[in-house]
Amino acid sequence: MFGVLFEQAADGQRYIDWLLSGLGWTLALAFFGWWIAFAIGVIVGVGRTVQNRLFSIPARLYVEIFRNIPVLVQMFLWYFVFPEVVPVTLGDAIKQIPPPWASFFPALLCLGLYTASRIAEQVRAGIEALPKGQMEAANALGLSGYLTYRYVIVPQALRLIVPSLTSEVMGIYKNTSVALTIGLMELTAQARQISEATFQTFTAFGAATIIYLCLALIAYQAMTLIDKAVRIPGSSAVTLTAEQDLTADVPQGGALPDAMEAAK
């Protein structure tokens, strides 16, 4: 079924080479977009929890704007509208960027800022889940607000939200497919091109689906390992072995006769 992928295309390459080229752009877009999103998301998430309204209000506005506008609309805004609203010199420079970078950078900016708004809410939830005693203890030690967040609050919050960040890591890989709408030949765009060239739609998109599934499984496994490595001691449920459970039941079984003897 997938034999057509190893046939030669009109440009001299094999169709599998088209898919691998698209996979490279997908990985680059997801990797760099994730680090942009993580850096901005942590800052905005912290801003959502501070008492200073100078920081909390802009942080909330950022989340509400970028999270509630569909990512496809944001992609079009960055690609088509942004060069027209900035100063003419800057706009002309953006329009003169050669392909595929002219599509890559707007897509990277779009995915990074959109995913950052989602990560910010995860960070806010992780900070609010911490006991208030953590902040009070830091204040008692004389730490400033900045040092408290840097050394006490944020490290613990990030360790708590690793499982929920897994969905964001997997999501940014899937959202890279939206970049085909602005001309970036990532994985989905290459699959569509193969479908149009060979009329083997099932084969082209079936191969892309398998690749996306493998990426998701790899990302999930990597985040699982990270979660185990940074998990806060004592935060996971304790599972007793059969021998430990049986041993724990022995004193309970012998306690009733003793009580009955004492009653007699």
Confidence at 260, pLDDT banded by 50, 70, 90: very low
8 has which bridge partners? 14
Residue 258's pLDDT is 52
Confidence at 236, pLDDT banded by 50, 70, 90: low
- Six token digits for residue 50: 């501070």
105-143 pLDDT tens trace: 999 999 999 999 999 999 999 999 999 888 889 888 888
Task: Tell me how far CA of residue 175 lies from CA of 108, 110, 128, in angstroms.
Answer: 11, 10, 28
142-154 pLDDT tens trace: 888 889 999 999 9
| Stated pTM of the model | 0.84
Amino acid identity for residue 53 in this structure: R
Please give the CATH topology (third level) of the domain spanning 2-236.
Answer: MetI-like fold (1.10.3720)
Q: Quick check: 88 pLDDT over 50?
A: yes
Residue 234's pLDDT is 64
Q: Quick check: 10 pLDDT over 90?
A: no
172-215 pLDDT tens trace: 989 999 999 999 999 999 999 999 998 889 999 999 999 999 99
Q: What angle separates helix 162-175 from helix 201-230, to the nearest 10 degrees?
A: 160
